[in-house]
């Protein structure tokens, strides 16, 4: 029985090239209590390896989170296999619009403590007791209801460039940080308001909705599939789009424009702009919003200090970094004294 990859990434890439088969890229997740994670892991690996599935799959006692690709012709088999697992029957599959045949080079099925690194201790509440999932159409109705409180479950740099009208956008750096803040803000309304939440792809709301239910909120809803799926349904069903600005995404594109509104501003000169970049000083790399003019003037740096460092020869920069602890600022803080026009979100 072969339970692990035998081919190297390089050999895989060559094989895919050779086969020239069209592959589908898709993702899904499900919170569910899985008792024996290693047995489940091995079961999936054997079944999916057979179907030439490649990808990154995390399995934990709390559920499964999968990103993968497979030959289009094996999709029916794959779907049947998913449906044969009771808690994955009819699970919503997010199928990517753009397919990259080499998005994944191996099948990696890993047992972890969590399916998402969210820093929460979930022994205290049942993650499978989640809120009501709503479609884009139902969501549009709900958020017009005066008894609804709409909450953005993302971080400050995400909601800064785009959000649903009238949403509360907590000024937080992490998901974990946002939960107690929101709970405290809304504690008066646990029983008399509908709590409606959304995030990028839906996964953060799964846990947040279970958390808020556990904390005593009676009426909890979540946007099914997040902003990504909302946008798809709006286009497909010709619904009114209530999302303004850009949807921040965690890949090379950084963001997807949803409406023409520019709701953010350049952190350096204050003019309307919603383009995120990372500071060109490798030792800084802070994520911030910079307009074209400022990018030119500052050499794509966040501050004069960074501009000075970035202009040094590479070897000198390296020497400067030596022995210093480098914060990974890529998606983390995005806050700096030098960025005077960085707005706090509400
Ligand atoms: Zn500017
Ligand atoms: Zn910098």
* CA 281 / ligand 1 centre spacing (Å): 18
* CA 266 / ligand 1 centre spacing (Å): 5
Phi, psi values for residue 272, rounded to 5°:
-55, 130
Percent of the chain residues past pLDDT 90, beyond the cut: 63
CB 204 within 8 Å of CB 154: yes
User: Among all ligands shown, which has an atom nearest to the Cα of 292?
Assistant: 1
Higher pLDDT: 118 or 42? It is 42
User: Among all ligands shown, which has an atom nearest to the Cα of 291?
Assistant: 1
pLDDT at 346 over 50: no
User: Among all ligands shown, which has an atom nearest to the Cα of 326?
Assistant: 2
Q: How confident is the model at residue 307 (pLDDT cuts 50, 70, 90)?
A: very high
Please state whether the predicted TM-score (pTM) of the whole model is above 0.85: no
**Mean pLDDT score across all residues of the chain:** 88
* CA 307 / ligand 2 centre spacing (Å): 7
List, for residues 239-288, the tens digit of each pLDDT value: 999 999 999 987 667 888 999 999 999 999 999 999 999 999 988 889 99
Q: How confident is the model at residue 329 (pLDDT cuts 50, 70, 90)?
A: very low
Active site residue 302: no
Q: How confident is the model at residue 2 (pLDDT cuts 50, 70, 90)?
A: low
CB 248 within 8 Å of CB 199: no
In DSSP terms, 57 is beta-bridged to 66, 109
Q: Provide the token pair at 184.
A: 């405290």
Average pLDDT score over residue span 186-203: 94
Domains located in the chain, CATH noted: 9-111 (3.30.70.100), 132-237 (3.40.250.10), 264-346 (no CATH)
Residue 324 has what pLDDT? 62
* CA 267 / ligand 1 centre spacing (Å): 7
* CA 335 / ligand 2 centre spacing (Å): 10
In DSSP terms, 74 is beta-bridged to none
Residue 118 has what pLDDT? 76
In DSSP terms, 54 is beta-bridged to 69
């Amino acid at each position: 029985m072969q339970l692990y990859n035998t081919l190297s990434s390089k050999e895989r890439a060559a094989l895919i090239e050779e086969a020239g088969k069209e592959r589908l890229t898709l993702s899904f997740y499900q919170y569910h209590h899985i008792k024996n994670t290693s047995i489940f892991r091995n079961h999936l690996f054997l079944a999916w390896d057979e179907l030439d599935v490649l990808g990154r799959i995390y399995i934990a006692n709390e559920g499964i989170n999968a990103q993968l690709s497979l030959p289009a012709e094996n999709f029916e088999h794959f779907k049947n296999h998913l449906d044969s697992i009771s808690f994955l029957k009819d699970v919503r599959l997010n199928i990517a619009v753009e397919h990259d045949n080499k998005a994944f080079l191996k099948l990696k099925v890993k047992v972890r403590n969590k399916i998402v690194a969210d820093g929460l201790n979930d022994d205290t509440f049942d993650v499978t007791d989640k809120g009501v999932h709503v479609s884009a159409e139902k969501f549009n109705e709900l958020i017009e209801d005066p008894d609804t409180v709409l909450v953005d479950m993302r971080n400050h740099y995400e909601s800064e460039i785009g959000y649903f009208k009238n949403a509360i956008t907590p000024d937080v750096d992490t998901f974990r940080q946002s939960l107690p803040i929101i709970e405290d803000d809304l504690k008066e309304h646990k029983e008399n308001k509908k709590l409606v939440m959304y995030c990028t792809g839906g996964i953060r709301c799964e846990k947040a909705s279970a958390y808020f239910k556990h904390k005593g909120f009676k009426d909890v809803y979540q946007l099914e599939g997040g902003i990504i799926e909302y946008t798809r349904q709006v286009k497909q069903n010709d619904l009114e789009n209530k999302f303004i600005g850009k949807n921040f995404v965690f890949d090379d594109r950084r963001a997807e424009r949803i409406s023409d509104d520019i709701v953010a501003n350049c952190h350096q000169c204050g003019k309307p702009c919603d383009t995120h970049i990372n500071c060109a000083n490798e030792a800084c790399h802070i994520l911030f919003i910079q307009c074209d003019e400022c990018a030119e003037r500052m050499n794509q740096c966040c501050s004069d200090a960074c501009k000075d460092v970035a202009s040094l020869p590479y070897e000198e920069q390296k020497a400067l970094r030596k022995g210093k602890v480098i914060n990974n600022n890529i998606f983390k803080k995005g806050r700096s004294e030098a960025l005077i026009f960085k707005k706090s979100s509400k």
